[in-house]
Structure 1
Amino acid sequence: MEQHYDELYKVVLVGDPGVGKTNLLATFLAAEAVNEQGISRSFSAVRKATIGVEFATAIVRHPNGKRIKAQIWDTAGQERYRAITSSHYRRAAGALVVFDVTNRETFNNAQEHWLKELKAAANLSSTLTSCIMLVGNKVDLESSHVIQDANYVDQELHEATATSLGLMHQRASAKTCHNVRRAFEDLVVAIYNADKSKLQRTDVAPAIQLEQTSQSSTPNNPKSTDTKCC
């Protein structure tokens, strides 16, 4: 039976092949269920690459009690599917741009390619322009050896880059479920807030215009400072 929801928004997952987009989505949908080793039951180290575009839905509860249905599109990162996946950006209300914290190239591509593609496809009035989260996945691989590697993207660089670009940010692990639910839910709530804020501004504009029109149609009759008796 269809679950009740108050709003519906489309969210896209983008990023290079192998950064863990599909595992992040699977972990989120599995409600962070983990096994005895602390690994997500939905996590797969040998998951097949996404072909084209796949999607799933989830209900996110807003702090105000509203039920928001997120239609989450998992896009393929391979070049040969680029024409297919980019066509799905246009109606997106928000996006998670994913990179691998142990692979600096995926971090660079997140900024130089994926983010640019999203912004190029976004309508100026769309919430997508302000609701993009830069997600660093695979933090479970962080170790004393990894963090000294030149390819590692530390939290300071991640956060500073996101802030400079006006993006939300989160560090996560699809394998251990760390911050996965928080990433998706924070983004969906931000989309809802941005959408409602946009609607409020749209409602106010006609009212202001109407008031200005009403004033301009009044005969030009400046008030006199002189008081007159009858």
Structure 2
Amino acid sequence: MSYSYLFKYIIIGDTGVGKSCLLLQFTDKRFQPVHDLTIGVEFGARMISVADDTQVKLQIWDTAGQESFRSITRSYYRGAAGALLVYDITRRDTFQHLSRWLEEAKSHAQPNMVILLIGNKNDLEHRRAVTAEEGQEFADANGLLFLETSAKTAFNVEQAFLKTAKSIHEKIQSGDIDVANESHGIKVGMAQSNQIPGMSDSTKRQNACC
């Protein structure tokens, strides 16, 4: 299926917060209770529809949370249009580490990257260690979008990826993001190339191959 845009996403956060499970639930609509730790990065992709039925392909990179892989992870910030910053609502330490993750994201990513904060595992309410209000306050203080999710029940998983995409699309529409600059993590598909004035034929052909 042709698409108007391709958005590159990166999923970041501590080990064991459910990053890989969120990706699997979004791309395959299934939950895997036992999941090996991500080594380096894993990849997933899916087509979605945003405003006015604009087709967008999401290219999603799921990164390792271990400190030993941080140098690999840092290279994936470059050229990312969106980031999902994930913590586990049952583990307060993963919430306390958010500032470090956010600082790293902002120092390595392009300034227009849209970041959505995710409080995952909200199906484990009886083990909650971080309130939804705390998550919202952190997001508000740092200019982030925010949702609580459950990769197990699929609660808000779809919405998390869609909400980020809609925010990126709005930035394109407002001119805050220059789609001709691929460092912004966006590629223009054939469905959109012909509508962008000034885009060269070689660029159109290049985007068509992505």
What does residue 103 of structure 2 align with? Answer: 116
Q: Deviations over 1:44-98 (max 9, x none)?
A: 2220011101111111101211101110000000111111111010110110000
Please tell me the residue identity of whatever aligns with 2:77. Answer: Y
Q: Distance in 1 between matches of 2:45 and 2:85?
A: 18
Match of 2:164 among 160, 170, 187: 187
Whole-Å separation in 1 of the counterparts to 2:157 and 2:98: 18
1:193: Cα distance to partner?
1.3
Deviation at residue 199 of structure 1 after TM alignment = 5.5
Find 1:80's aligned residue among 68, 74, 79: 68
Q: Secondary structure at the match of 2:53?
A: coil
Please list, as runs of the form range in 1=range in 2, the aligned pairs for 1:12-91 lying within 5 A after superposition: 12-31=10-29, 42-91=30-79
For 2:178 and 2:24, how far apart are their aligned partners in 1?
36
In 2: Cα distance, 1:197 partner to 1:59 partner: 23
Two-structure CA RMSD over aligned residues (Å): 1.6
Where do 5+ consecutive residues of structure 2 fail to align?
A: 180-210
In the other structure, the counterpart of 2:135 is 158
Question: Residue 80 of structure 2 is aligned with which of 68, 92, 104?
Answer: 92
CA distance in 1, matches of 2:98, 2:106: 12
> 1:201 deviation in Å?
8.8
Alignment partner, residue 7 of structure 1: 5
Structure 1 residues 170 and 200 mapped into 2: Cα distance closer, same or farther (>3 Å)? closer
Could you list the structure 1 runs, at least 4 aligned residues long, displaced by more than 4 angstroms after superposition.
199-202
Is it true that 1:198 corresponds to 2:175 in the alignment? yes
Question: What amino acid maps onto 1:161 in structure 2?
Answer: F
User: TM-score if structure 1 supplies the norm length?
Assistant: 0.74
Partner of 1:178: 155
TM-score normalised by structure 2 residue count:
0.81
CA distance in 2, matches of 1:110, 1:78: 14
Query: Cα gap change, 1:66/1:95 in structure 2, threshold over 3 Å: closer, same or farther?
Result: same
CA distance in structure 1 between the partners assigned to 2:176 and 2:150 by the alignment = 35
**RCO greater where, 1 or 2, for CA within 8 Å and sep 6 or more?**
2
Counterpart Cα distance in 2 of 1:116 and 1:170: 20
CA contact (8 A) 2:80 2:110 kept: no
Aligned length: 179
Moved more, 176-185 or 55-64: 55-64
Q: Which has the higher strand share?
A: 2
Decide whether aligned partners of structure 1 residues 80 and 195 sit closer, same or farther in structure 2, where only a CA change above 3 A counts.
same
- Structure 1 unaligned residues grouped into runs of 5+: 32-41, 203-230
User: Helix, strand or coil for the counterpart of 2:21?
Assistant: helix
Q: Which of 1 and 2 has greater Rg?
A: 1
Identity of aligned residues (%): 42
